[in-house]
Amino acid sequence: MKAIHTITGASALLLFILGLFIYFKFVGAPAVPRGLEDYYVQIPTNSTFEEVMDILEKKGVLKDRKMFILLAERMKYKRGSMRAGRYELQPGWSLIEMIRHLRGGTQAPVDVILTNERLPENVAAKAARFIEPDSVDILGLFQDEAYLRSIGYTSETLMSLFIPNTYEFYWNTSPKAFVERMIKEHDAFWEKENRLKKAEALGMTPQEVYTLASIVEKETLVNNEKPRMAGVYLNRLRTGMRLQADPTAVFARRDFDTPRVTHYHTKFDSPYNTYLYTGLPPGPISMASISSIDAVLNAEKHDYIFFCAKGDGSGLHAFAKTLPAHNDNVAEYKRNLQKRGLR
């Protein structure tokens, strides 16, 4: 009787040891390689369980599909819908830890960086680099006039929605969710620092302020010069003078790489060409930086209505109140170019 108890005890111990071996070999062993700092998997929307396993295999974190299926069933992961998203997998995680994380749906966000995109298609392409929808789907929404009207925009004014910044999104954000987030960020931006009241004081809408800011953005790279530049354009608008802004003529021609503005640009018939049409163009000619938007809202009050580049390599402009003074500045500009061997 004692021998039977000894054999039974030995068998139990053997089974226990075997169980520990199986656990540490197949279940508790690290599935995610150690030593990795940033390890992410992306689960597309509407993925099946089989597709999730394929993704994990390609990432090198799934070696035993049968064990994964067994654990997933016991953890009720296989029965539920696969949660789309971008997930960070910690180095050294076991299959159990990995399944628990994927089942929980806790995503790792991505940063979408919007800076100086010129056209809606550029914004769509930039966003598509960071979130799941491709640029075609995003641009399709940008070009849906009925949808744009429902949110208070047109295809011409849409660019005024985008405020340059770094935005945190979930990878599986839809095109509409992307736009809705941009609306929220846009509204929050305009509610700060009395921007709406300042726009109203100028007799302009936020879209009009943004449109003018986009011109200022392309006219000068010097931030502390922007308020003076904005003041020139506001003076022209008030007096009914054409803006005659070179960047609008370049935009009208879509000749963005031109080194110099010529009659090819300024004579081109387009509502965006402020050499031919009075007032603001139909919409922004690019994204406007926050510094340019605030430059319009806080424009210098002065009597300047002319300006031209100094041509001395500083990137600065010479401003004038009269045409003769402006002509003198133009002559100085040409002399500076000659001195630098550029003319």
Let me know whether 224 and 326 are in one domain.
yes
Q: Where are the alpha helices (DSSP H) in 80-171?
A: 95-104, 120-128, 135-142, 145-150
What pLDDT, on a 0 to 100 scale, did the predictor assign at position 20?
A: 37
Q: Same domain for 95 and 174?
A: no
Strand 85-88 to strand 40-43: parallel, antiparallel, or no bridges (unpaired)?
Answer: antiparallel
- pLDDT score of 6: 52
DSSP code string of 168-233: EE-TT--HHHHHHHHHHHHHHHHHGGGHHHHHHHTT--HHHHHHHHHHHHHH-S-GGGHHHHHHHH
Sort 312 into a burial class: Cβ within 10 Å, 0-12 / 13-18 / 19+.
Answer: middle
Q: How far apart are CA 89 and CA 32, in angstroms?
A: 7
3 domain-assigned = no
Statement to judge: residues 280 and 225 lie in one domain: yes
Residue indicated by tokens 């960047």: 247
Give the end of a domain, one of 191, 209, 238: 191
Question: What predicted TM-score, i.e. pTM, was given to this entire model?
Answer: 0.86
Does residue 15 form part of some domain?
no
Cα-based distances in Å from 226 to 4, 205, 293, 294, 308 = 94, 19, 9, 9, 13
Question: Tokens 């491709």 — which residue?
Answer: 134
Is residue 223 a part of any domain in this protein? yes
Q: Which residues does the chain have with pLDDT short of 50?
A: 12-26
What's the pLDDT at 341?
A: 81
Token digits of residue 147: 């949808």
- In the prediction, which pLDDT does 92 show? 87
One domain for residues 272 and 254: yes
Q: Which residues contact 159 (CB under 8 A, 6 or more apart)?
A: 119, 120, 123, 210, 214, 283, 284, 286, 287
Give the SS3 label for residue 123.
helix
Question: Has residue 1 been placed in a domain?
Answer: no
Residue 132 within a domain: yes
Distances (CA, A) of 298 to 235, 295, 316, 320: 14, 5, 19, 20
| 315 contacts 220 by C-beta, under 8 angstroms | yes
Out of 191, 218, 237, a domain closes at 191
Regarding whether 257 and 128 lie in a shared domain, the answer is: no
Q: Cα(343)–Cα(82) distance, rounded to whole angstroms?
A: 65
pLDDT the model gives residue 15: 47
Of 104, 139, 160, the last residue of a domain is 104
From the list 194, 200, 165, the residue with the least C-alpha distance to 182 is 165
For residues 162 and 287, membership in a common domain is answered with no
Domain that holds residue 185: 110-191
Q: How far is CA 247 from CA 8, 12, 287, in A?
A: 89, 83, 13
Cβ burial 262-296 (10 Å sphere, 16+ → b, else e): eeebbebebebbbbbbeebbebbbbbbbeebbbbb
Strand partners, 27: none
Q: How many domains is the chain built from?
A: 3
Tokens 């500083």 appear where?
314
